[in-house]
A and B are shown apart, each in its own frame.
Chain A
């Protein structure tokens, strides 16, 4: 079963606009990660935010985490056609060891030129 739910399931915007994707989860976590997956390819790690962090930036990416609401958002600013992909949030809720990730169902982002 999957812990996370991403919203929206699909998003289509014009190049240059900002894209915001949301993720909700159910249990307490150690950290939350966002991954990108281009069609037919593996997952690319984008950013990790720990449970004691509230906001993190990496280039054009901004991630927020609200542990009281069990939610996170990923903002991509000044979108480019190359950002077209599926985006997944993944939570690490392991008590010890394994660092098993639990993924959401993803948001399919399309950037129109």
Chain B
């Protein structure tokens, strides 16, 4: 596709609900990243996939957060039993095939999650 797309763009959840955020990376991009951006802050790394393998999930804040990329393209970030502190913009990024190391990550528009 032309760029990274994310859906939904906005999500309002009641505390305790489960949510699922979707990311469609640029076609052919092997690497996929999730970041969380709190209001007024820079993005913070959550997790990283190379194809379908989740190679780094060190940034996931709790076991309520779960990400998957079963076929190596589309990825879903799931948050269970949402809390108010989960309110943030969730950004997805993809980058060029493994080994190229151009290192540029291309970001989607993000999903703004508000937990009431």
Per-residue CB contact flags for chain A residues 28-41 toward chain B (1 = under 8 Å, else 0) read 00110101000011
Residues of A within 8 A of B110 (CB): 41-42
User: Does A75 interact with chain B (Cβ within 8 Å)?
Assistant: no
A2, B56: Cβ atoms closer than 8 Å? no
A residues neighboring B (CB under 8 Å): 2, 4, 30-31, 33, 35, 40-45, 48, 88, 90, 92, 97-106
Separation in Å of the B18 CB from the closest CB of chain A?
A: 24
**Shortest beta-carbon contacts, A-B, top 7:** A103-B42, A43-B107, A42-B109, A42-B107, A98-B48, A103-B43, A98-B56
Residues of B within 8 A of A42 (CB): 4, 91, 107-110
Number of inter-chain CB pairs below 8 Å:
67
User: Does B66 interact with chain A (Cβ within 8 Å)?
Assistant: no
- Tell me the complex Cα distance, A45–B112, Å: 20
Residues of B within 8 A of A35 (CB): 107
